[in-house]
Amino acid sequence: MTSRVFALALALAVAGPTASLLAQQPEGVSERQGPDTLFTPPPLTPGGAFLRSLVVPGWAQAELGFETRGAFYFLAEGFSLFMVARSQIRLSHAERTVADPETSGLVSARRQQREDWIALAVFWAFFSAADGWVSVHLFGFEERTGLRPEDVAFRVGWKIPFGP
């Protein structure tokens, strides 16, 4: 028994670590089969998608074929930047019209609004970049998950007792 085990170990050592056994091959698949022809590699690298969507939110999504999502990020960022500019104009106007801008509640409120819009613009830029990075990793994965309406079967009910 031990001589058989030794002979098998010696044969595997001579064949090399890359040798595969016939039992490990799926039926109908040979070692000479080429690469998977159904998989299309993504047109971007994850880092490239992150940087593109950081510079112009929605760019990577549009490049990957998700135009609606890319347009959403672009519009959200554009609106946030528009509101940053608008709040800056309102802040400048408040600083010019108020007698003492340092103690004015209006000037303080306008500064807070501007900071809020800047924070939202930064959020949309980084969220779009992160989504671009994830979208490259999920590129070509067309499996949709979730419940179909015919799969949902539940009932809600109650009983009202009548009589004695």
Q: Does some domain include residue 61?
A: yes
What's the structural domain count of the chain? 1
Structure tokens at 72: 């959403």
Residue 4 gets the label, from left (phi > 0), alpha (psi -120 to 50) or beta, of alpha
Which has more pLDDT, 27 or 56? Answer: 56
What pLDDT score was predicted for residue 58?
A: 93
pLDDT at position 2 is: 67
Q: Per the domain annotation, does 156 fall within a domain?
A: no
pLDDT value, residue 13: 57
Residue 40, in any domain of the structure:
no
Which tens digits make up the pLDDT trace of 127-164? 999 999 999 988 877 666 666 666 666 667 777 777 76
In a domain, 18, yes or no: no
pLDDT for the residue 1: 61
Contacts of 81 (CB under 8 A, 6+ apart): 121
Query: Domain limits at 117?
Result: 46-139
pLDDT of residue 23: 56
Answer whether residue 146 is part of any domain. Answer: no
Residue with tokens 């830029």: 125
- How far apart are alpha carbons 119 and 105 in whole angstroms? 21
In a domain, residue 41? The reply is: no
What local confidence, expressed as pLDDT, does residue 10 receive?
A: 56
* 140 contacts: CB under 8 Å, gap ≥ 6: 39, 40, 42
Contact in structure between 73 and 131 (CB atoms under 8 Å): yes
Residue 87 inside a domain? The answer is yes
Tell me the one-letter amino acid at 29.
V
More confident residue, 96 or 20: 96
How much is the pLDDT for 98?
84
pTM metric for this prediction: 0.62
Question: Per-residue pLDDT tens for 42-100?
Answer: 888 999 999 999 999 999 999 998 999 999 999 999 999 999 999 999 999 998 888 78
Residue 59 lies in a domain: yes
Give the pLDDT of residue 43.
87
Higher local confidence (pLDDT), 22 or 141? 141
CA dihedral for 64, 70, 74, 77, sign (positive or negative): negative
For residue 130, how many C-alpha atoms fall within 13 Å in the half-sphere facing its CB? 6
